[in-house]
Amino acid sequence: MAEKIIPIADQRYPHAVPAVPRQLEAPSGEITDSLGRSLHDLRISVTDRCNFRCVYCMPKEIFDHGYAYLPHQSLLSFEEITRLARVFVAHGVRKIRLTGGEPLLRKDIDKLVAMLSALRTPDGKPLDLTLTTNGSLLARKAQALKDAGLTRVTVSLDSLDDATFKRMNDVDFPVTEVLRGIDVAHEVGLGPIKVNMVVKRGANDQEILPMARHFKDTPHILRFIEYMDVGSSNGWKMDEVLPSAEVVRLIDSELPLTPLTRHSADETAERWRYRDGSGEIGLISSVTRAFCGDCSRARLSTEGKLYTCLFATAGHDLRALLRSGHDDAQISTAVAHLWRAREDRYSALRAQSTEGTAHANETKRVEMSYIGG
């Protein structure tokens, strides 16, 4: 059988090293791209490894025992991550989210959290420091993460039914362990906890109401995410997307809802609360209702490539600048020029196409497992 090759391999080869302008500039604390969007949110992937094989993210037939992960020396060190984070914070980043892969697989992750929690915005405020996890190791590590300065966590959970959950994670991991992790995280104060459910039609859409019932009357915020065309390994098809509008109608028919305003313009989730005041849910509709117009997020890959869109086809190699002796002023100026040139709006272009699948033939988009969701 011929060896499978997927585009993710291309993402780990050397990319163009950003140019460093001769005229350096001091960061102003606020920077906008070509469409007037600020840089407020940095997502940092700390590992390309995961102990789950979720069918929509790291399918087992591709990420099998023979898959070659990045060697440790290729990963950004904690010191390098913190140095780059400091540069981004100076440009206006207020929130940092640690992702993966599964970030809790990164050894001593609490030490990185402590280093990042010491950073301050230009006006002296602490960062909103968060982490997204599959929850498998959360019960074990929640207290250390809280003690290190983590603000809160988001837990991925696609079903409460054990058989469905095991089918989705494809490694026979029980849902009870994830639920225990959520409980422990709440007990130590990592909240409000957000619980993310990726809804794939025909796979777990029957779990929408059970999930809503379970997390209603809790302090946790359940969010339903449309199955997205990130990367090319998950075999995405439009007919497997269950639009968020249908999710709202389904829940509202049994558990009446009323809409809420977003906390900020660049928030990705639409918010709804139960009419009886017993909690809220969120809907992330990147397929049927693009939010590119207010996107303020940059993504840093495990080995230091900057991506300005979740659906990007190429990154900018900041690690090369770090390891070739460039100082912070040079790297900061390079980042400023990259963000000002940003014009990404993939989801909006997809929505404008007649089939709703703009750029569907692109085969080199970065994988979600490589830069996090």
3-class secondary structure per residue, 87-114: HHHHCCCCEEEEECCCHHHCCCHHHHHH
* This prediction's pTM: 0.90
327-354 pLDDT, tens digit each:
999 999 999 999 999 987 766 566 665 4
Cα dihedral 335, 336, 340, 344, rounded to 10, equals 30
161-215 pLDDT, tens digit each:
999 999 999 999 999 999 999 999 999 999 999 999 999 999 899 999 999 999 9
CA angle (366, 371, 373) in 5-degree steps: 100
Residue 57 φ then ψ, to 5°? -130, -60
Q: 83, 323 in Cβ contact below 8 A?
A: no
Name the strand (E) or helix (H) holding 194: strand 194-199
Residue 290 has pLDDT above 70, yes or no: no
Which tokens sit at 287? 């397929």
3-state SS, residue 345:
coil
Q: What is the pLDDT of residue 234?
A: 56
Nearest Cα residue to 143 out of 114, 176, 110: 110
For tokens 């397929």, what's the residue? 287
Helices (H) and strands (E) in the chain, counts: 12, 12
The residues, ordered by sequence, that sit 6+ positions from 10 with a Cβ below 8 Å of its Cβ are 364
Which tokens sit at 166? 């095991």
Domains of the chain with CATH codes: 8-18+28-371 (3.20.20.70)
The percent of residues above 90 in pLDDT, for the chain, comes to: 72
Residue 2 has pLDDT above 80, yes or no: no
22-37 pLDDT, tens digit each:
999 999 999 999 999 9
Q: 77, 109 in Cβ contact below 8 A?
A: no
